[in-house]
Amino acid sequence: MAFEHPYIRIKNVAPEKMDESQGWTVSEFRVVISEKEGASSTMYHATLGPGDRFQKRRNDNCDEQYYVVSGHGLAGAGTDRVEVHPGHYHLIPKGVEHWLANLSRNEPLVVIGLFDRAPNMGVAGHVHLGDITEDDLNAPRTLDSAGLEYPLVHQDAVPMVKVSRDEGWTQDYFCEPLNRSHGAGSCWMMGYFGPHTIHMKHRHDNCEEICYILKGHGLAGIGADRGELAAGDVHYIPAGCEHWLANLSDTEDLAAPGWYIGVGGLDESGFNYMGQVTEEDLKQRTGEI
C-alpha cells in the first residue's frame, strides 16, 4: 500500500545543483519538503564540509530558521557574530544579511532549516551579497546572548511547555525553542520521548506540521498511514490531519524537533485531542519508507 502523506528519508533525497556564483559553496544541499509535498514552506538539509560556507545573503520574501544537527560553525546575522554548535536554533528575519561558515578542519557542519512560507526555493527571494571575508571570520564574537540582535537559542536553555496528559501529551518533555516571543511566525517545537512513550492521536486545525527525527526509532501515524521512522527521517502533516508518534525502542529516547508552520506557538495551532493509540495501530505498517 502506498503512503498518502509524505514520509521522507533525507539520505534518499537527491542533492540540488547549487550555483556557487550565488554563494552556495556547500558540499550538499537537499530540498526535503516543499510545495511538491503540498507544503506552504520549504525545508532543507545542508552539509557544509570543512571550508564550506553559505556566503552572505538575504531572503527578501521570507524568514529563515535553522537548527545545527552536528558540527561547529560561525554564523553572521546583521552585526551578530556567534559560534554555533549542535542544539542551536537560529532565526533570521526577512531582509537580514546572514551567512554561515564551517569552522572545523575535519568535520562537516550539518543543519536543517526552513524558508518560512516560501513554498519553493525560487520564491524565497535569495539575494547574494558577497563572500565571507577574513575580517568577518576574525571579528569579535557576540558572547552575551542579551547582546544579540537576532535570536539564537540553545535547546538546553529552553523551558518546558506545560501540556496536558489528559489530552495525550504523554512524552517526557516538550518545548518551543523559537516561538512568537522571539518574533517567529512559525514555531519550532521539540518533543523528547522515553522508551515506549506515545504522543496520542491529535490534529492541529490552524497549521501544518513538519517533524524531523533527530534521534531514535519511532512509528508515525498520519491519517491512515503507518510508517517507521529513524534518525534523519522527516514526515509532513497537513493542517487538520490526525497524527501521532510512538517511540518503539525498549531502551533509547526519541527526539523529534519540527515546526508548527504559520503559528507562533502550540496554543495557536488549533490542537484537538483525538484519542488513544491502540495496540492495533502499533501493529500496522503502510509500507517501507
Band of the pLDDT at 170, cuts 50, 70, 90?
Answer: confident
- Condensed to tens digits (0 to 9), the pLDDT of residues 263-284 reads 999 999 999 999 999 999 999 9
- Condensed to tens digits (0 to 9), the pLDDT of residues 95-123 reads 999 999 999 999 999 999 999 999 999 99
pTM, entire model: 0.96
Q: What is the DSSP string of the chain?
A: ---SS-EEEGGGSPPP---GGGTEE-SEEEEEESGGGT-SSEEEEEEE-TT-EEEEEEESS--EEEEEEES-EEEEETTEEEEE-TTEEEEE-TT--EEEEE--SSS-EEEEEEETT-SSGGGS-EEEEEPPPHHHHHSPP---GGG-SS-EEEGGGPPBPP--GGGTB-SSEEEEEESGGGT-SSEEEEEEE-TT-EEEEEEETT-EEEEE--BSEEEEEETTEEEEEETTEEEEE-TT--EEEEE--SS--EEEEEEEETSSSGGGS-EEEEEPPPHHHHH------
Here the cell at position 130 is 558577497
pLDDT value at residue 171:
81
- Condensed to tens digits (0 to 9), the pLDDT of residues 116-150 reads 999 999 999 999 999 999 999 999 998 777 789 99
- Condensed to tens digits (0 to 9), the pLDDT of residues 11-40 reads 999 999 999 999 999 999 999 999 999 999
